[in-house]
Amino acid sequence: MPEPQKPRDEAFKRFDARYDALDATTRRKPSGHAMESGAGAGYRLIGELVGGVLTGLGLGWLVDHVAGTQPIGLIGGMLIGTGAAIFLVVRSAGRMSGASVARPEVPPVAAPTQDENDDAG
């Protein structure tokens, strides 16, 4: 009757403990813009830019319609909307950049000792 392999079970338990410790230290905690993918962040910036310009155009048209100053309100709204959209995009991009720079460093994983190498093989 073969004897159960206790040292191998112990090695697996130590490996699981080391793996859990590594996983806990390397797992990134999502916060704000850091959880967005690159494509998602790009689409968000494009949405802010287009939305700002369209909002400015809409408000300019409304001013033209109410006040009766046909092209002046539309042109002014477009300029103000574009300026506000560029401001918002630059601010969001700065926040995204700051979030990517402020990530904490991952501590190095300690190499296994000679005892652990002997048990695993």
Print the SS3 string covering 12-58: HHHHHHHHHHHHHHHCCCCCHHHHCCHHHHHHHHHHHHHHHHHHHHH
CA atoms within 13 A on the CB side of 9: 4
User: Rounded CA gap, 7 and 64, in Å?
Assistant: 83
The full set of domain ranges for the chain reads: 50-93
Percent of the chain with pLDDT over 70: 69
pLDDT, residue 36, reads 60
Confidence of residue 59 (pLDDT cuts 50, 70, 90): very high
Q: Return d(Cα 78, Cα 105) in angstroms, integer.
A: 44
Q: How far is 51 from 23, CA to CA, in rounded Å?
A: 40
Mean pLDDT of the chain: 80
Residue 46: alpha-carbon gap to chain centroid = 16
Give this prediction's pTM. 0.53
Q: Reply yes or no on whether the pLDDT at 20 is more than 70.
A: yes
